[in-house]
Amino acid sequence: MTTPPYEHPHFASKSGPPPGCPAHARGIESARLYGPEVEADYTAAEEALRKRFGPVAPVTLQGDVPAWLILGYRENLEVMRNPSLFTRDSRHWNIQLDEGSPLAPLTAWQPLTNLTDGEEHTRLRAAVTQSLANFSSRQESESGGHGVHRYVVWRSHQLIDQFAARGSADLISEFADLLPLRVISRLLGLSEAHVPALVDSVRDTISGSATAVTSSEQITRLLYDLVALKREVPGHDITSRLITHKLGERLGEEHLRQEVAEHLRMLLTATHSTTAPLLGSTLRMSLSDRRFRGHLAGGQMTLPTAVEQVLWDSPPFPRLVGRWATADTDLAEQRIRKGDLLVHGLAAANRDPKIRPDLDEPMHGNNAHLSFSAGPHECPGKNLARGIVSAGIDVLQERLEGLRLAVPTSEVHESQALMSRHLDRLPVTFTPRPHRAGVGGPPGAQPQHAPIPQSGTATPHALSHG
Ligand code: HEM
């Protein structure tokens, strides 16, 4: 029997890390957090680490890059809430990555909200939160702001129309992977005509296919064009709001366009790579888990409660790279050196036995999980994400009579990587129904790049958690 790397007495690799490798420099035993055995069962690997090292474990990431994996709930919170000691700014790193390292895209510094701290972070985050606020707050949906809920419902119906008459579908590729991107594209102010191409390009970039680079260039072009257009003809959309915010900073025109376009790209990726898996996992649970199936149908367990349960059990970012120590310090009896990388183990924190002694005990809507992080970088899109998931599933359940899984639950396979999880397929069957009559364009159909539809009838629940 092969010993899994996380139980191997000399962890890093059979021959150990190569001479000169930063893992050596630390002079401590580390566990490898990559490779097929770990990737096949991250939970087992992390629980073995917790048992061996406690709440903070020395690990190596791909390329034998040293890091600390924070497994404890309390320790994760401590780091999230202390940005002066544990910064998001990767320029503090005490090692240089090899060229072509798979960690480079996750850690390369840019002037973005998620990679800065202090005053710069406050400035960049304000631009993002203020532009999102109008589309995700309780006030927005109750006072009839820009009708995101109605738009999510309309988009959901439109996707379901493609397979409703068939009586079968794969709810990952035909629904969960498409809905969040379509919604966020619209909120950014992209025209209906551009949305399908953008959705394809973003999915292609994330899947790392052979055409990923071309797709990424296409996204850049589209976003630059969008910023140029919104600079001339502003609308009620996130792009126009970001531009207005940036205008106050007196940046040069090129700098302004670049910062806005990069933030838009970040919002697209942040939405797709998280909300799609949350939608997929909640759908799987609602179709297969007895705790939910009966409850959802009988109305005892609300959909938002089910969403929180999934966020506890299957966080879309199971791990988050990262934070960098700005000074030598101790964390759960481990000596952290200035410039060390820390990885938030969000999935591990959510199942920390100190706060959840019984993982089968339902969380009853408790939303104190760390899946959206906490502290100054806490996810500003969390209510939008919850709203998209709840509204999408509401529409599916309303439209598809007799909706059920077409395969045993054991055949619904999930792939995980360091910072992502994804259901491969979710095949379902239901009673075939012809298309709905009288389906038109989006609510309050608009010309190209027009404002998001106004609505006075948004349903409060979907966009109003928290
Ligand atoms: C289920 C869906 C989502 C999950 C689980 C999620 C989770 C997270 C997490 C864990 C962080 C990292 C915070 C940190 O560094 O401590 C984050 C940051 C962020 N998320 Fe989300 N997110 C989701 C959806 C969204 C959506 C829909 C948007 C945008 C519309 C969004 C925008 C952002 C932004 C801008 C940041 C950076 C915030 C900052 O650093 O100040 N997220 N998210």
- Written as one string, the DSSP assignment of 405-454 is ESS-GGG--EEEETTEEEES--EEE----PPPTT--SSTT--STTPPPPP
**What is the CA(177)–ligand 1 centre distance, in A?**
17
Query: How far is CA 120 from each of CA 31, 93, 131, 309, 320, rounded to the nearest angstrom?
Result: 35, 18, 17, 34, 21
* The ligand 1 atom nearest the CA atom of 320: 10
**What is the CA(382)–ligand 1 centre distance, in A?**
7
Identify whether the C-beta of residue 421 lies closer than 8 Å to the C-beta of residue 314: yes
How many residues are given for the chain?
466
Place of tokens 């992502």: 420
Rama region for 35: left / alpha / beta (φ>0; ψ in -120 to 50; rest): left
Residues of the chain with pLDDT under 70: 1-27, 136-146, 206-209, 248-249, 291-300, 435, 437-466
Q: Is 182 exposed, middle or buried (0-12, 13-18, 19+ CB in 10 A)?
A: buried
**Domain 22-463, CATH number (from 1.25.60.10, 3.30.1330.60, 1.10.630.10, 3.30.300.30):** 1.10.630.10
User: Could you tell which of 120, 379, 384 is best to mutate to test the pocket of ligand 1, judged by most ligand atoms within 8 Å of the CB?
Assistant: 379
- Predicted local distance difference test score (pLDDT) of residue 232: 93
- Predicted local distance difference test score (pLDDT) of residue 447: 32
Per domain, the residue ranges of the chain are 22-463
Whose CA is closest to atom 7 on ligand 1? 372
- Predicted local distance difference test score (pLDDT) of residue 8: 30
- Predicted local distance difference test score (pLDDT) of residue 270: 92
Mention every residue, 6+ apart, whose C-beta is less than 8 A from residue 377: 80, 83, 88, 113, 114, 121, 125
The phi and psi torsions of 169 (rounded to 5 degrees) equal: -165, 165
Ligand 1, CB within 6 Å, residue ranges: 80, 88, 113-114, 125, 128, 132, 184, 267, 270-271, 274-275, 278, 316-317, 320, 371-373, 377, 379-381, 384-385
Q: How far apart are CA 459 and CA 172, in angstroms?
A: 25
Q: How far apart are CA 106 and CA 109, in angstroms?
A: 9
Going by their DSSP bridges, the two strands 320-325 and 341-344 should be labelled as antiparallel
Identify whether the C-beta of residue 143 lies closer than 8 Å to the C-beta of residue 391: no
